[in-house]
Each structure stands twice: as structure tokens, then as C-alpha cells.
């Protein structure tokens, strides 16, 4: 039996940062990494009300577990989990139930917000009526907006999302390959503060996917494994496979991508000053006369 390097009497269950550790040390190790990320970027301030984007997938459930456990240590005043119901039959229903159960088990308030309630149509309806040629891209834009609106309604000072280091590395590379450097603005562990938006943070930004899965397993997180039926984006899938291949030869490829981005960000590369005007329909900051979420909401509603 291989032993935990910190507790000789306990069996090792995993390797964390190269060391064999028992279940307790693995959990505390992952939580310590999240706490360090939160403190390093000043993600939360004492007394704040924090919103947690809770989709019901593994990453968001792990985020909820860890923030609930670290709440006293981080001085968080209150937590509210926010779940967006896009209206994807057979997929979101299960995720919402998992999210509801987790929030109730952790004694965290839970708020549901739906595309139908906000824009009068579900994603399924819009797809069946042929209104959205690229459902995943419309959905992604509207999900972000729905989360922000719910976080505002709930009086959140900050909104935490469950993006891991792997997600961030993929997004950085994708935005570079697409030639959309302005989108890098929302890639960092702490999004550049945009007036009019609830500030966003990513407490799992330095956890690898493997560490997220390990924590989910150790805590017994019940999560949805089925992928979304509309999940699209051939480029993201290609990047995911390429990075996995690259990491066989260069084990720190993802970490180094994130580091390179952070250096660029420190030098002022991703400046929030691009958001100079406000959308004429909703009043949110925008780079164009009508913001992307309003354009996508009109598409969802079938408005030309
Ligand atoms: Fe929406 Fe795409 Fe996420 Fe599915 S994968 S919930 S379509 S953003």
C-alpha cells in the first residue's frame, strides 16, 4: 500500500503536485489552491454577497462545494447559487435537479432564471422554428447575460464561475486563433471590471481538469455526465484535442498559456476601455449600437 506523504497511516488515493496523498490531504490541497487563487487576485472582499453560477455540471458543483466550505475563511457574507434554464429538454432538467439538490444540501440559496421568463422563448423552441443557426453560440451569449441579470437582481457584489485552468487555456488559444483578441478581456481569473456588469471571478482558474474531477469524486459530487445536445464549436473541440496531444510532450502547455496571458494582461493588453458606449436597447456596455446579447435575444424571438 502506498502511503500518504503527510500521514503514514493513511493510504494514498491520488497524486497532487507530484506527491502521493490520502483523501483528506487531497481535498485540503485542492481547497488550498482555490483559496490561494482567490487571495492572489483579491476575488472577494469581506462582507460580500457572492453569486455562484451553478449549471449542474461537475465544475460548477465543485465550485459551489468549495466556496460553501471556504465561506467563513474568506469572509463571504452570503452565497446564492444561480442556475440558468435555457429550455433544453432532457438535458437541463436533470442538471437543474442536481443543482437544486446540491444547493439544498449545502444550505445555499438557489435562484433559477429561464430564457422563457427573460426573452419569451426557450432554446428548444427557437431551434425547432429554425431561428438560431448556431444554437450554442446564441445560448452562450444569452447564458452570460442571464447570469449577470440574475446576479444583479440578487444583489450580488461578485459572480463566481467554475472555469478551470483547462477551460481558460482553451479559451485563450481559441480567441487568438479566431483573431478576436478583444474577447480575451473575459479570459482571466478576475475579469476586467466593466462598468454596468457584476464583476466576474474564476476561483478554479488554477485547478486542472484532473484536480476538479478528483475533488468531485472525493466529495461524492453527483454531476451530469451527458453532454449538451447542442454543444457546438468545432474549433473548441479541435483545440481541446490538440492541447491534450501537446501536453503529452509539453506537460505544462496549458499552464504556460495561462501564464503568458496573465503577463499580457498585467501589461494592460486586455483593456476594458474598448466598451465605450451603451447598447441602445438594454443599456448594457457594448462595443456596437446594439449589444451581442440583444442581437441574439432578437434571433431567439424571431425578430429580424
Ligand atoms: Fe448552451 Fe452550448 Fe452550453 Fe449547451 S453547451 S448549454 S447550447 S452554451
* Local structure of 43: helix, strand or coil: coil
Q: CA 258 → CA 144, 169, 212, 261, 268, distances in Å?
A: 22, 6, 17, 5, 15
Q: For ligand 1, atom 6, name the residue with the nearest CA.
A: 228
Of the chain, the percentage scoring pLDDT greater than 90 comes to 60
Question: Is there an atom of ligand 1 within 6 Å of 86 CB?
Answer: yes
Q: What is the pLDDT of residues 81-98, one digit of tens each?
A: 999 999 999 899 899 999
Atom of ligand 1 nearest to the CA of 233: 2
CA distance 123 to 143: 11
Check whether 272 has a pLDDT greater than 60. no
CA distance 269 to 285: 19
Q: What is the mean pLDDT of the chain?
A: 89
Q: How far is the CA of 298 from the centre of ligand 1 (A)?
A: 18
Q: Which three cell numbers stand for residue 88?
A: 433544453
Q: What is the DSSP letter of 114?
A: E
Q: How far is the CA of 210 from the centre of ligand 1 (A)?
A: 22
pLDDT of residue 28: 94
Check whether 274 has a pLDDT greater than 70. no
pLDDT of residue 193: 60
Question: Is there an atom of ligand 1 within 6 Å of 143 CB?
Answer: yes
Q: What is the DSSP string of 61-86?
A: HHHHHHHHHHHHHHT--EEEEEEEE-
Angle, in degrees to the nearest 10, between helices 209-219 and 58-74: 80
Segment among 22-26, 157-161, 296-300 with least mean pLDDT: 22-26
- In SS3 terms, 179-232 reads as CCHHHHHHCCCECCCCCCCCCEECCCCCCCHHHHHHHHHHHCCCCCCCCCCCCC
pLDDT of residue 203: 97
Exposed/middle/buried for residue 136 (C-beta within 10 Å: 0-12, 13-18, 19+) = middle
pTM of the complete model beyond 0.85: yes
Q: For ligand 1, atom 8, name the residue with the nearest CA.
A: 140
Q: For ligand 1, atom 5, name the residue with the nearest CA.
A: 231
Question: Is there an atom of ligand 1 within 6 Å of 51 CB?
Answer: no
Question: Is there an atom of ligand 1 within 6 Å of 136 CB?
Answer: yes
Amino acid at each position: 500500500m502506498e502511503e500518504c506523504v503527510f500521514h503514514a497511516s493513511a493510504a494514498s488515493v491520488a497524486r497532487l503536485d507530484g506527491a502521493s496523498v490520502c483523501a483528506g490531504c487531497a481535498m485540503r490541497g485542492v481547497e488550498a489552491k482555490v483559496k490561494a487563487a482567490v487571495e492572489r487576485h483579491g476575488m472577494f472582499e469581506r462582507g460580500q454577497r457572492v453569486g455562484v453560477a451553478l449549471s449542474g455540471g461537475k465544475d460548477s458543483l465543485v465550485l459551489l462545494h468549495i466556496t460553501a466550505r471556504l465561506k467563513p475563511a474568506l469572509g463571504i457574507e452570503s452565497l446564492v447559487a444561480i442556475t440558468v434554464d435555457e429550455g433544453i429538454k432532457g438535458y437541463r432538467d436533470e442538471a437543474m435537479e442536481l443543482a437544486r439538490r446540491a444547493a439544498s444540501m449545502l444550505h445555499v440559496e438557489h435562484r433559477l432564471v429561464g430564457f422563457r421568463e427573460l426573452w419569451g422563448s426557450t432554446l428548444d423552441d427557437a431551434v425547432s422554428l429554425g431561428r438560431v443557426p448556431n444554437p450554442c453560440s446564441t445560448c452562450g451569449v444569452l447564458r452570460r447575460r442571464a447570469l449577470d441579470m440574475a446576479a444583479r437582481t440578487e444583489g450580488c457584489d461578485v459572480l463566481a464561475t467554475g472555469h478551470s485552468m483547462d477551460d481558460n487555456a482553451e479559451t485563450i488559444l481559441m480567441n487568438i486563433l479566431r483573431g478576436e483578441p478583444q474577447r480575451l478581456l473575459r479570459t482571466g481569473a478576475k475579469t476586467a471590471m466593466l462598468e454596468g456588469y457584476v464583476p466576474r471571478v474564476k476561483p478554479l482558474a488554477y485547478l486542472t481538469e484532473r484536480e476538479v474531477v478528483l475533488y468531485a469524486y472525493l466529495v461524492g459530487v453527483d454531476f451530469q455526465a451527458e453532454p449538451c445536445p447542442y454543444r457546438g464549436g468545432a474549433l473548441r473541440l479541435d483545440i481541446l484535442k490538440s492541447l491534450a496531444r501537446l501536453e503529452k510532450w509539453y506537460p505544462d502547455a496549458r499552464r504556460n498559456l495561462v501564464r503568458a496571458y496573465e503577463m499580457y494582461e498585467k501589461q494592460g493588453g486586455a483593456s476594458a476601455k474598448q466598451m465605450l458606449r451603451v447598447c441602445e436597447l438594454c443599456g448594457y456596455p457594448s462595443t456596437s449600437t446594439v449589444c451581442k446579447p440583444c442581437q441574439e435575444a432578437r434571433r431567439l424571438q424571431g425578430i429580424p
